[in-house]
Amino acid sequence: MTTPRAELPRPPTLDEVAVAAGVSRATVSRVINDVPTVDPRLRAVVERAIQETGYVPNLAARSLVTRRTDSVALVISEPPNHREYAATFLNRVFTDPYFGRITAGAQEVLRSDGIHLVIIPADPPAHDQVLRYLRQGHVDGVLLISSHAADPFPGQLAEMGVVTVLSARPGRPVPLSYVDVDQPAGVALAADHLVSRGRRRLATIAGPQDMPAGQGRLSAFRDALARHGLPAPPVVEGDFTRASGEAAARALIAEHPRIDGLFVANDLMAEGAVRALQEAGRDVPGDVSVVGFDDSSAALEAHPQLTTVRQPVEEMAAEMARLLLAGLREPHRSPRTVIFNPTLVVRDSS
Amino acid sequence: MTTPRAELPRPPTLDEVAVAAGVSRATVSRVINDVPTVDPRLRAVVERAIQETGYVPNLAARSLVTRRTDSVALVISEPPNHREYAATFLNRVFTDPYFGRITAGAQEVLRSDGIHLVIIPADPPAHDQVLRYLRQGHVDGVLLISSHAADPFPGQLAEMGVVTVLSARPGRPVPLSYVDVDQPAGVALAADHLVSRGRRRLATIAGPQDMPAGQGRLSAFRDALARHGLPAPPVVEGDFTRASGEAAARALIAEHPRIDGLFVANDLMAEGAVRALQEAGRDVPGDVSVVGFDDSSAALEAHPQLTTVRQPVEEMAAEMARLLLAGLREPHRSPRTVIFNPTLVVRDSS
DNA sequence: TATAGCACCGGAACCAGTTCCGGAACTTCC
DNA sequence: GGAAGTTCCGGAACTGGTTCCGGTGCTATA
């Protein structure tokens, strides 16, 4: 609309291939779409014509009638009310291994179905534009990573009738399928482990409390400690980045120097926390045991390597993709929920 | 093609809006495309009808005639012959701040032109599929990040006539525009700085030697040292990941314990190198000065914060986007090259 | 050998927009 | 008051595919 665009030599059309092969347009179309009712000899002729002309189907024309594009979007959403946080949005996305795992898992199953995956970061300034992109029909459906409770994106997509699958339980109930990990169970694994290591003076670095994941892991940790008869732990909130984990740990030991066990709501923050503890002269795990969450590549890059709660992120993303494909096949399917079990991976930080 | 898809209630069409507004289809189209020759009163009527019907233009129909989709792809390519490296491709992409900066810079200028940006990781197994995606016309053009000398992607896109801009000088000459930083100048800044700090026993951690960036920075460093009359430095090759920087630094000091200055081909590796040096009992910058390359967020996360050669990645990506837009406007424009100047950012590691 | 049945192909309708072109209605000017 | 010129709208052609429907030519069967 905005950009005028001059003409290029136009690519060959179905008609030209048909003429070259001496058949009708319909037949060429059948060959391209692998319709079985085509004489093998004719098929060969047509295929040669396609080669010779260098024909490539025009997506717009095709999807105008089929109403499909054979591609889906992985949208990473940031809600509009997180200004300062949003400034570093893209840096966060391209710094947290989580998103790569999601992509890998989804790619895997989509690929085998011949569906393309495109990634769209949707920070606040792009919000409307992304919404427009999605409803215009560039893609058949969307995998939505929305981590903030107040994010309107899930609701909007649901309302617009865009087939969508979420990566976690939405902050507000929304009629969309989602995949999640059993957060309380995972956190309990971490808490039980710290206790079993003899740790009693526990603390936690929580995620942002406006994210279900941040909020859920914190309250689950409190619950777990209560079950063990332990007091409510000191809490410092981070934002799931390594730097915030570092700062949080510093704050924590300044305030509570005798801490001997630390549960951190994700591995990236845990990696930072370990570093801060060490710089403060604490040995990990000698003086304090640290347990992370995710089992991302950050857990392996930490020194010592992190004990952590493993989320099967790749499998979860694969399930998201499968749910999406199913949703595309049956549009009136009711939303489903799939919950995965976390496991504890014990390494050297505890 | 593969997924059969059942019918949803079809969205309103231009025709229905036209009926609702009591005008012709052509007029509604004019209103939507902001054609000035429409009576203001009629325009208001049509706009109301659009609101009421909840009309959204059908992308396929529109781009069938306009030959535009108003979206471009940012493709991150991995060449087919890097098996083991490819296994961690997505983890690398979503762990290196570089890609976030590219995205941010490109978004910025595309957004103001109303162009959508989608990100497509193209590791070897997806290679053909991505190529198909691009030539089918899902997007108007592509910003290609191709870092390996042997990558066939740039050549293929050029041959297919897809309007493309590269993020660096291609390994083989290709008739495409690209943006790059003056690598030798940047490396010279680093070398001169180390020398000016009194360092004489210099070494370097290089990037992969099948990447122009890796190769170029290494040879430029050798040249710079030669200019200072210093001997050829010990070299260990990494793969631009933090872990590889760590391993490389370990290898380096095992072999050459008296090193007092280290140039590392990117910040991520430099961050790892600093950590390895510290764990080996070296003080940075007391015992050894370290200089990185990029000035990415990794430089700030290192302890001490890294002295580094700044690439204006965001500006470079913005320029890529501008070159692409220009290429879309004039398809027969000849390829251009834009080279940016690096600067030295002195922090605490040197 | 006539006929039913089947495999396969072509014509044409259709998808939902954009844009060219002609013409109606209204001004403006003489 | 009529001619010329504007302004703005509608009809229709066009974009490049898919798919329905009907028909042709062949084979199998009685």
| CA A210 – CA A216 distance, rounded (Å) | 10
Are residue B217 and residue B202 in the same domain, yes or no?
A: yes
Given CB atoms, is B156 within the 8 Å cutoff of chain A?
Answer: no
Q: Quickly count: other Cβ atoms within 10 Å of residue A39's Cβ.
A: 11
- Residue A7 included in any domain: no
Paired tokens of A131: 């919404």
Are residue B235 and residue B321 in the same domain, yes or no?
A: no
Are residue A233 and residue A147 in the same domain, yes or no?
A: no
Given CB atoms, is A286 within the 8 Å cutoff of chain B?
Answer: no
pLDDT along chain A (350 residues), means of 10: 48 94 95 93 95 95 95 90 65 93 95 95 90 95 94 94 95 95 98 97 96 95 97 96 96 97 97 96 96 96 96 97 96 94 97
Taking contacts as CB-CB distances below 8 angstroms, the residues of chain A near B125 are 111
Counting the structural domains of chain A, the total is: 3
Distance from CA of B329 to the nearest CA of A (A): 5
The pLDDT of residue A3 = 39
Q: Is B343 helix (H, G, I), strand (E, B) or coil?
A: strand
Are residue A195 and residue A118 in the same domain, yes or no?
A: no
Its domain, for residue B20, covers 14-66
Are residue B206 and residue B325 in the same domain, yes or no?
A: no
| CA B163 – CA B145 distance, rounded (Å) | 14
pLDDT interval class at B331 (50, 70, 90): confident
Distance from CA of B292 to the nearest CA of A (A): 18
pLDDT interval class at B83 (50, 70, 90): low
The pLDDT of residue A48 = 96
Q: Is pLDDT of B5 > 50?
A: no
| CA B51 – CA A264 distance, rounded (Å) | 48
Whether the Cβ atoms of residue A38 and residue A23 lie closer than 8 Å to each other: no
* Nearest beta carbon to residue B104 from set A68, A90, A113: A90
Q: Which residue is nearest to nucleotide D9 (CA to C1')?
A: B27
A242/B114 CB distance under 8 A: no
Nucleotide nearest to A65 (CA to C1'): C15
Q: Which of B30, B46, B66 is the last residue of a domain?
A: B66
Given CB atoms, is A305 within the 8 Å cutoff of chain B?
Answer: no
- Residue B1 included in any domain: no
Q: Is pLDDT of B212 > 80?
A: yes
**Domain of A53: which CATH number?**
1.10.260.40
B57/A136 CB distance under 8 A: yes
Give the tens place of pLDDT for each residue, B271-290.
Answer: 999 999 999 999 999 999 99
- Residue B2 included in any domain: no
Are residue A214 and residue A327 in the same domain, yes or no?
A: no
- Residue A163 included in any domain: yes
**Domain of B227: which CATH number?**
3.40.50.2300
pTM to 2 decimal places: 0.93
The pLDDT of residue B306 = 98
- Residue B25 included in any domain: yes
| Strand C reaches within 7 A of the B14 CB | yes
Are residue A168 and residue A83 in the same domain, yes or no?
A: yes
Are residue A116 and residue A196 in the same domain, yes or no?
A: no
Spacing of B4 CA from D15 C1' in Å: 25
* Of B226, B224, B249, the residue nearest B235 (C-alpha): B249
The pLDDT of residue A4 = 40
The pLDDT of residue A8 = 53
The pLDDT of residue A78 = 82
Spacing of A40 CA from C1 C1' in Å: 31
Q: Is pLDDT of B325 > 90?
A: yes
- Residue A2 included in any domain: no
> What residues form DSSP beta bridges with B262?
B203, B290
The pLDDT of residue B124 = 84
- Residue A45 included in any domain: yes
Could you give the residue ranges of the DSSP H alpha helices within chain A?
A: 14-21, 25-32, 40-53, 59-66, 83-87, 89-93, 97-112, 127-135, 153-160, 183-196, 212-227, 242-255, 267-279, 297-301, 313-329
The pLDDT of residue A331 = 85
SS3 content of chain B, % helix, strand, coil (to 5): 45, 15, 35
Distance from CA of B185 to the nearest CA of A (A): 27
| CA B123 – CA B76 distance, rounded (Å) | 8
Taking contacts as CB-CB distances below 8 angstroms, the residues of chain B near A73 are 118
The interface residues of chain A toward chain B in range 89-118, judged by CB-CB distance below 8 A, are 90-101, 103-104, 107, 111, 113-118
SS3 content of chain A, % helix, strand, coil (to 5): 45, 15, 35
Whether the Cβ atoms of residue B109 and residue B321 lie closer than 8 Å to each other: yes
Mean pLDDT is lowest, of A74-83, B192-201, B210-219, for: A74-83
Spacing of A27 CA from C10 C1' in Å: 8
Distance from CA of A117 to the nearest CA of B (A): 7
Output Rg (C-alpha) for chain A, integer angstroms: 25
- Residue A229 included in any domain: yes
As a whole number, mean pLDDT of residues B216-243 equals 96
